[in-house]
Amino acid sequence: MTRSVVLFRDLLIPILPLAAFLVNGLFGRWTREKAHWVSVPAVVLSFLLSLFVLKDVLSGVNTYASLYRWITVGAFDVSVGVMIDPLTAVMLIVVTSVSSLVHIYSIGYMHGDKGYARFFAYLSLFTFSMLMLVLSNNLLELFVFWEAVGLCSYLLIGHWYDRRSAADAATKAFVVNRVGDFGFGLGLLLIFVTLGTLDYQAVFLGAKAATNQTVDLLAPFGGKLDVGLVTLIALLLFAGAMGKSAQLPLHVWLPDAMEGPTPVSALIHAATMVTAGVYMVARMHPVFELSPSAMATVAVVGGGTAIFAATIGLVQNDIKRVVAYSTVSQLGYMFLACGIGAYGIAIFHLMTHAFFKGLLFLGAGSVIHALSGEQDIRKMGGLRNKIPATYLTFLIGSLSLAGVPLFAGFFSKDEILTRAFFAGDLGRVLWGVALLGALLTAFYAFRLVYLVFHGETRLLPDAAHHVHESPPVMTVPLWILAVLAVFSGWVGIPLIAGGDKIGHFLEPVFKGVAHVAHADIRLEFWLIAVSVIVALLGIAVADMFYRTRPAMPDKVASAWPRFYSLLLNKWWFDEIFDWAIVRPTRRISEAFLWKVADVRIIDAFVNGVGSVTQQAAASWRRIQTGLTQDYAMTVVLGLLAIVAVWLAAW
Amino acid sequence: MNLDQAFFLYFAAMIVVFSIVTITRKNPVYAVMALLVVFFHVAGLYVLLNAEFIAALQVVVYAGAILVLYLFVLMLLSVPREALGAAAHRRWPVYALVGGATTFEIALLLARSKFAPRPGPYPPDVVREMGSTQAIGTVLFTEFLYPFEVISLVLLVAMIGAIVLTKKWTPAQGGEEGR
Amino acid sequence: MTIPLSWVLALSAVVFGIGVIGLLTRRNILILLMSLELILNAANINLVAFSNHLHSMRGNVIVVFTIAVAAAEAAVGLAILLALFRNRRTVNLDEVREMKG
């Protein structure tokens, strides 16, 4: 195949979902309940094309192409283009595969919804945006699609916009992301101002050359606070990643985003969009690498989020929120990996997480579907025999999340822990934190399994009546994801020579990173053993709490009532933000921006312009006599004046 | 003063006098007749200025076609005599003064200007020898070919426009009667 | 070359002025159109005079164009006049004041 044919094939990957979006978006009135016949084939075809791309990349063919010049203003020159390297290939596979399965699953889950075509339109638009995000070859293009996936997230969280809580959650997601994206935007500006380019490769080279430059942050105020330029850039970019990937303290939007339909939670808020931050940090790793303090920040934020979100996940009662906090926690693990320089492992965990967390969300959706919309795990229980397929797949997902050996999550999470252990003193501390997080993870994962599927049924009589297994169009994607949640980890088996296929595959992307030698195989083995024990311990505790001795949880909760309420109320984050930011903003807006700035200044000015124009026009309209000869007279007077000036200037 | 100059003075005098007659007649028929005299004398002036072709054009197009058109319209209108009344604009002395001032200014401008001869490729004896028709034709169909084509379009549009404007629209043709 | 250029230019200026005065002062649209013809003729005289003075044919060619445009102008102007008269029963310009502000 010639180069242009290959490029065309690569471009079809994002174009097919875009076409599906256009068809369903523009003609949704006609496609209606047949909307999936447009979207599903498009996305599945994208997935198949991605496999070809993967094959090409495996044989060492990378693509870098500028499609057209987008903006050229002075030195500001941005093209729209695509770049395909191993990192992009992995992301393409993850995005298209999960997206395909979610599209198929949605046929069953969204059946009969009045916004069916709209839902598929947005889902396809999201897939397009996400694919372009990972395909882009410069930061501005990345940023545009970064915002586009945010928009799709907003639209899909608010799919049931007639529900107040859904509309609020959508707005919250958008506004909180704005905080992070403000940092991202500043980062882009700083990069352009100092390095003069936004192209990846050029930025990496420029950043390397500018390693020792500093920026005086307080210069405009007369003070002095020198910050390393590269550090500042990396931190600003990371701020964007924190918003998108729901890291502390910008995580507050993700649990609320569960107001959206469950397939959306699986695709956007677990598998793909929220991992865009991790992808971005991995993509920009040459910049991060230059700044040890930025790296440390990434690692600490990641580790902190991992444990913090896990503690909240322990006590939540909404099945989707538990999984959502688990997602926040797992994203923390990915950033932890990035922060210690183990980008390949971060991407590996991103991939396995996409599969097992997508599985858990879709499984949760299947449970909710079976119970006609019930999400409170206190009103579930004993569903094991009634919805066996959902149970089995959910169990597989939970085992994978908990990090039980041979399941996918085990390999990736374990590798993160191991690498953290070998990454200096800070790494050692973070290893401890992450290990504790792993314990909590195993516990809450199985708390969910036991509360939902085991024990006595606590269903409301009404719901118990209708319990039914989901149709095959939903269970088949579950089974496929279950298979992936087991086997996707096998591309990164540690210890065995040649087992770490994905690390080897991604190596060309991260070749600049100092490689940590696996010095002591025996020590590494013991580390793995410890984490396995911890995972099993978590499961055992969950087993004790929720199966053998059901009175335990209440006893523990009443023993530490303050702590319990702290966790139940999510460390009061929403309340703190409300008190510290939302309310003052509203008060200032009302007292000053509305009643003074808007009414007295802007309105007064606008009205003044209007009335002055009106009064002037009232007197000037008289010069329009309507007599043609008066107009001709004006022309002649003009001629007279021009010739007079000419004569005078002779 | 030679013969050419004598002819020029005659033409100029007739042109000026009959121009004034044209714009002062109350009855448009007399105005058209005066204008006809003006056009003929302008044509004579063109002959004096070595532009026989333009002179012919002046007689054929202006006097022959345009003025006949005016007369046709006058006949079609059959304006009642009293409707013609009140010939001048209500502020006509002021307007006339402005017009006069403009003329005076232009005259002043011309009087101060110097027009150095810059001899081109068509001196009078050459033109006389080849005939002004051939001379104009040569320039018109080489240097001015595109403008020439454009002017034919202008005429076409004017023709269509005149027909559309004066046509009586019947309701069946999608317009109000007598638009 | 026996007629001085300045004589012809003076004549054209006078004819132009007469045309302008007619255009500004008369009410009858027909007379106005004729005044326009006078102005165009003044311009033509100018062009021919310069063409003769500069030994060039370009001025004459432009006169050809001017005459064509004048014919077009007369046709359209008179057509408008006809349409106006048909609706308003008048040929007086100051009775048409739709543009009054």
Query: Which residue in C96, C98, C101 is closest to A622 by CB distance?
Result: C101
Rounded to an integer, the average pLDDT of A405-416 is 88
Query: Which residue in B99, B109, B112 is closest to A636 by CB distance?
Result: B99
Q: Is C52 at the interface with chain B, CB within 8 A?
A: yes
Rounded to an integer, the average pLDDT of A431-460 is 88
Inter-chain touch A636–B105, beta carbons under 8 Å: no
The pLDDT value given to residue B83: 55
pLDDT digits (tens, 9 = 90+) for B146-169: 999 999 999 999 999 999 988 876
User: Is the pLDDT at A219 greater than 80, yes or no?
Assistant: no
Confidence of residue A362 (pLDDT cuts 50, 70, 90): very high
Rounded to an integer, the average pLDDT of A62-69 is 84
Give CA–CA dist A438/A417, Å, rounded: 9
The pLDDT value given to residue A187: 92
Query: Which residue in C13, C54, C79 is closest to B162 by CB distance?
Result: C79
Rounded to an integer, the average pLDDT of C5-34 is 90
pLDDT digits (tens, 9 = 90+) for B121-132: 888 888 888 888
Residue A517: exposure state from Cβ atoms within 10 A (0-12, 13-18, ≥19)? exposed
Residue to mutate among B92, B97, B104, B108, with most A CBs inside 10 A, is: B108
The number of C-beta contacts closer than 8 angstroms across A and B is 24
User: Is the pLDDT at C65 greater than 50, yes or no?
Assistant: yes
Cβ-based interface (< 8 Å): residues of B facing A: 89, 95, 98-99, 101-102, 105-106, 108-109, 112
Inter-chain touch A632–C23, beta carbons under 8 Å: yes
Query: Which residue in B98, B109, B112 is closest to A633 by CB distance?
Result: B98
Neighbours of A72 (CB within 10 A): 10
Sorted by where each begins, the domain ranges of chain C are 5-91
User: Is the pLDDT at C38 greater than 80, yes or no?
Assistant: yes
The pLDDT value given to residue B120: 83
pLDDT digits (tens, 9 = 90+) for A232-276: 899 999 999 999 998 988 888 988 888 889 999 999 888 889 999
* A601-611 CB burial, b ≥16 within 10 A, e <16: eeeeeeeeeee
The pLDDT value given to residue B8: 93
Q: List CB contacts (< 8 A) between B51 and chain C.
A: 48, 51-52, 60, 63
User: Is the pLDDT at A609 greater than 80, yes or no?
Assistant: yes
Inter-chain touch A640–B109, beta carbons under 8 Å: no
Residue to mutate among C18, C24, C36, C96, with most A CBs inside 10 A, is: C24
Rounded to an integer, the average pLDDT of B107-117 is 83
Tell me the three-class secondary structure of chain B, residue by residue. Answer: CCHHHHHHHHHHHHHHHHHHHHHHCCCHHHHHHHHHHHHHHHHHHHHHCCCHHHHHHHHHHHHHHHHHHHHHHHHHHCCCHHHHCCCECCCHHHHHHHHHHHHHHHHHHHHHCCCCCCCCCCCHHHHHHHCHHHHHHHHHCCCCHHHHHHHHHHHHHHHHHHHHHHCCCCHHHCCCCCC
- Two tokens at A463? 């719901």
Regarding the domain delimited by C5-91, which CATH topology (the fold level of the hierarchy) does it fall under? Helix Hairpins (1.10.287)
Rounded to an integer, the average pLDDT of C33-58 is 92
Q: Which of A635, A639, A573 has the alpha carbon at shortest distance from A255?
A: A573
Inter-chain touch A636–B106, beta carbons under 8 Å: no
Name the most confidently modeled range: A194-198, A234-238, A570-574: A234-238
Q: Is C74 at the interface with chain B, CB within 8 A?
A: yes
Give CA–CA dist A648/A336, Å, rounded: 82
Among A19-23, A378-382, A596-600, B76-80, the minimum mean pLDDT is found in B76-80
Its pTM surpasses 0.90: no
Rounded to an integer, the average pLDDT of B41-55 is 92
Rounded to an integer, the average pLDDT of A562-575 is 82
Query: Which residue in A621, A626, A633 is closest to C97 by CB distance?
Result: A626
> For residue A63, which phi and psi values (nearest 5 degrees)?
-120, 135
Distance from CA of A621 to the nearest CA of B (A): 20
The pLDDT value given to residue A497: 64
Give CA–CA dist A628/A635, Å, rounded: 11
The pLDDT value given to residue A424: 82
User: Is the pLDDT at B81 greater than 70, yes or no?
Assistant: no
Among A68-77, A326-335, A516-525, the minimum mean pLDDT is found in A516-525
| Higher-pLDDT residue of B43, B79 | B43
A214-216 vs A226-228, strand pairing mode: antiparallel
- Two tokens at A337? 């990996």
Q: What is the mean pLDDT of chain A?
A: 87
Give CA–CA dist B20/C38, Å, rounded: 10
The pLDDT value given to residue C43: 94
The pLDDT value given to residue A374: 83
Q: Residue B110: closest CA among chain A residues belongs to which residue?
A: A647
Question: Is B38:C34 a contact under the CB 8 Å cutoff?
Answer: no
The pLDDT value given to residue A282: 92
Confidence of residue A467 (pLDDT cuts 50, 70, 90): confident
Rounded to an integer, the average pLDDT of A84-108 is 92
Q: Is A636 at the interface with chain C, CB within 8 A?
A: yes
Cβ-based interface (< 8 Å): residues of A facing B: 629, 633, 636-637, 639-640, 643-644, 646-647, 650
Give CA–CA dist A288/A236, Å, rounded: 11
The pLDDT value given to residue B178: 44
End-to-end, the C-alpha distance of chain A in Å comes to: 75
Position A294, amino acid: A
User: Is the pLDDT at B174 greater than 60, yes or no?
Assistant: no
pLDDT digits (tens, 9 = 90+) for A289-307: 888 889 999 999 999 999 9
Confidence of residue A333 (pLDDT cuts 50, 70, 90): very high
The pLDDT value given to residue B179: 43
Tell me the three-class secondary structure of A571-591, residue by residue. Answer: HHHHHHHHHHHHHHHHHHHHH
Rounded to an integer, the average pLDDT of A569-596 is 86
Inter-chain touch B112–A637, beta carbons under 8 Å: no
Give CA–CA dist A547/B55, Å, rounded: 118
pLDDT digits (tens, 9 = 90+) for A124-170: 999 999 999 999 988 999 999 999 999 999 999 999 988 899 999 99
Inter-chain touch B95–A639, beta carbons under 8 Å: no
User: Is the pLDDT at B177 greater than 50, yes or no?
Assistant: no
State which H helix or E strand residue A271 sits in. Answer: none
